[in-house]
Amino acid sequence: MFENIDFSKMGEMLQKAQEEAKKMEENSKNKEFTTKSGGGLIKVTANGAGEIIDIDIDDSLFEDKESMQILLISAVNDVIKMVEDDKKLAASQMLGSLGGFSQ
């Protein structure tokens, strides 16, 4: 099971993984994800850290609170999913770049 693993390189690989994770976190903060709902009546933007950084609501929705709430929830959920998907992709790319344990 462990015959192809060079355990002498584990510390080096863990350090490289930590450095890559830190770079990934810094890069993600600079990314922006935007989604729209209600045909563009609501637009929500988040950064790669999952923080909502902008919400744009069309004035016509201020007269229909229930519709505004539904569309806002939908847009926020969509942008959070976009951020999560990006994090998963970045993590898989990072793991791929580290290579295997056998060297």
Tens digits of per-residue pLDDT, 40-69?
999 999 999 899 999 999 999 999 999 999
Q: How confident is the model at residue 85 (pLDDT cuts 50, 70, 90)?
A: very high
Identity (one letter) of the amino acid at 61? Answer: L
Write the CA distances from 37 to 4, 32, 40, 56, 86, integer angstroms.
51, 17, 5, 11, 20
Q: How far apart are CA 60 and CA 82, in angstroms?
A: 27
Residues 6+ apart with CB under 8 A from 74: 37, 38, 42
Chain Cα centroid distance, residue 76? 13
Mean pLDDT of 19-30: 79
pLDDT at position 11 is 78
Give me the domains of the chain, ranges plus CATH numbers.
33-103 (3.30.1310.10)
